[in-house]
Amino acid sequence: MRRVVLIDTDTASDDAVALIMALRSPLVEVAAITVVAGNVPLEQATRNALFTAELCGSKVPVFAGAAKPLQRELEPATWFHGLDGLGDCGYAPVRRIAEKTHAAEAIVACVHENPGLEVITLGPLTNLALALALDPSIVGKIGRCVVMGGAPCCEGNVTPAAEFNIWVDPEAARAVLLSGLGIELVGWQLSRWDAVVSAPEIEAILALGTPFAEFAIRCNGRAREAYLVQTAEHGISLPDPVAMSVLLQPQLVLEASKHFVEIETASALTRGMTVVDRLNNSGDSRNTKLWQPARAQMQPASVVWKLDVAGWKQLLLNSLA
């Protein structure tokens, strides 16, 4: 039986590849896509989600949600993904429009309709924070929650301290991390270095000759250039597809540990930092590996440290074939 999944996304170029992976996977059924402002403004992100679903021949309902972070103005990442979020290649207008329901309400409804629903967030956590505020009871009904976000114990991609999705809306991230929901945190660093899709691997993907492969590489052209400038690493780094691979194939996680993860919201210097006491320097019981259901506020997140890189790349290739 296919697992039922909800994807929350600020759809830009790497989100689009993650959507393709899920929409074409035999392992899951995507019940809904909810869209949040992040990489690009909400309307553009919604168009991009609809465009990607159309490309996959999917009629999955798409719900637009928060147009800005909970307490801040939106600071998009068009410098990285292009003005349209898809590398400014001039893709055709979409034929469908989003559903009328707000994404936060759609998340709540979808959780109640699908006990054990698996949720993955690929953008700022605004929609999920709003959904949890609307109906905190969904915490106990969500089967898994994979979050692409954070830079645990390493440098970020927006500031030295923070990764984009958490930095854009740190208040929402903090609310979600403290909600009691068991989070699987897939940080930005897992899509770096050997996880980057290299030039020969890009050629192998293009050689598949499918519209999915062509789109995945082309729409990430701008991101490829920006990533090189930012990190001096060649190739296409795909944080959201890496997180999607963890959702689809949990066995790709080679190393993870449970921690109480705090998000910095006050400091300008470290705004959006995902603070993980990996060595349990604090001796704080919140870093225990023990499950503490009675102390929901202290429920730890599973922080992923190491991924089966060959396995992730094979899954990407299969998804685009």
For ligand BDR, the closer of residues 163 and 264 by Cβ is: 163
Helix (H, G, I), strand (E, B) or coil at 212: helix
Tokens found for residue 295? 């102390």
Q: Please, which of residues 190-249 interact with Ca ion by CB under 5 A?
A: 240
Q: Where is 9: in which H helix or E strand?
A: strand 3-9
- Token pair belonging to 301: 């997140």
State in angstroms the smallest separation of the CB of 100 from ligand BDR: 26
Residue 142 Cα distances to 118, 210, 284, angstroms: 6, 34, 27
Please give the Cα distance from 138 to 115 (Å, whole number): 9
- Options 15, 84, 118, 184; binder of ligand BDR; rule CB under 6 A: 15
Decide: 12 and 77 in contact? Cβ < 8 Å.
Answer: yes
Instruction: Out of 4, 240, 258, 270, name the contact with ligand BDR by CB under 6 A.
Output: 240
- Segment contacting Ca ion by CB under 5 A, of 13-21, 177-185, 203-211, 219-227: 13-21
CA distance 167 to 93: 30
SS3 274: strand
Nearer of residues 44 and 157 to ligand BDR, judged by Cβ: 157
**Interface with ligand BDR by CB under 6 A: which range of 7-15, 137-145, 261-269, 299-307?**
7-15
Least separation in angstroms between residue 20's CB and ligand BDR is 14
3-class DSSP state of 272: coil
The residue among 78 and 292 lying less far from ligand BDR, judged by its C-beta, is 78
List the interface residues with Ca ion, window 67-126 (CB under 5 A): 122-123
Binders of ligand BDR in range 55-94 (CB under 6 A):
77, 80
Of 114, 126, 117, whose CA–CA distance to 167 is shortest?
126
Q: Which residues bind ligand BDR (CB under 6 A)?
A: 12, 14-15, 39, 77, 80, 122-123, 148, 157, 163-165, 188, 239-240
